[in-house]
Amino acid sequence: MIYLDYAAATPLSKKAKQAMLPFFDEKFFNPSAAYLPAVETRKDYENAKDEIAHVIGAKGVDLVMTSGATEANSLAFAAVDEDAEVLISAVEHPSVLENAKRKNWQTIAVDQTGRVDIVDFKRKLTPKTQLVSICLASSELGTIQPLADIARVISEERQRRALNGEKTPLYFHSDASQGLGLLEVKVARLGVDMMTINAAKVYGPKGIGALYVGHSVRLKPQNYGGGQEMGLRSGTENVPATIAFASAIADAEKHINSERKRLAKLRDDLRKKLVASLGEDKIIFHGKAKTQLANFLPLSLPGLDAERLIFALEDKGVYLSTGAACAASKGEKSPTLKAIGLNDTEIAGSLRITLGRPTTEEDIEKAAEAIASVVKAEQDRLTK
């Protein structure tokens, strides 16, 4: 099997798996209980939160642990009023888009690479805007957003409001799930008030994520019960997954520079091989390498049906996707690909190839051969 869909899911690392195993049996205690073994489990849990937070330049008390990025994104929108004016980029994950649709929302335009148009952002930012949510990196294109530049515009608007005695709050949220483990992700440097992270993108377990919440932000609880996570997310803590998350994110941070270089080389090799086999005029590559995650190679093969290609590649043991897994599963045309100006034919032929830690040079060689073979077979079928 050659798996090339690491933007959708990563396998659990051996270190993360080993770290979490004791908390299923010998350290299984509920961390809210008062007896000593439970108190020890509570300490382990809080230490794990501190380790996760340290990677993003925060403290454990700044994190609200969630069931993943989708819940964390939803929780971020609980910082603003029901009828709040919010801005999101045109390339956001569905979990941001669907929350925005429940508010008074607008999208910020992007260029052909999927990068936010700062001029359009300034035009749409009004005195009534309460929340701006822009991903660190697009889950379909891998395009890295200029968050620090956006944060400066937001800071200027806050200063203007303060000078004019305006009380409307303005928060900046980013879903950093896709960039975690591939980029330096520090909340202060990025200038965010809230940030979503997700274990499943850094070789941790599925079903565990977190929302960083700055001290100025006041969130409304989304469920009620025992008051865990500062009363914002009641329910017994998922201790094993949190422990594994801490192990996975720390390991990813340790190897971030070497892994980024390795993945960029493999990606560039795959691109060259595909161009050599199929011809540069037959492929549209999305985004620019300089402003794109090192493991992303999104592309379009105009005139072909990407779903047919995916099924044919599966028969050859090569697994990749047409885009964000949740959008692709519903058979919808990608809003992200529309936003960068692709027509229906180009969208229909779009593939998202993403590499990961287990990807080897041999995988790239075999994947290139398989993709070229399947594409040529489909082209021949259509010309008969």
Catalytic residue, chosen from 118, 278, 326, 372, is 326
Residue 284: strand pairing partners: 300
326 has catalytic annotation: yes
Which pairing describes strands 171-175 and 350-354: parallel, antiparallel, or unpaired?
unpaired
Residues identified as active-site: 326
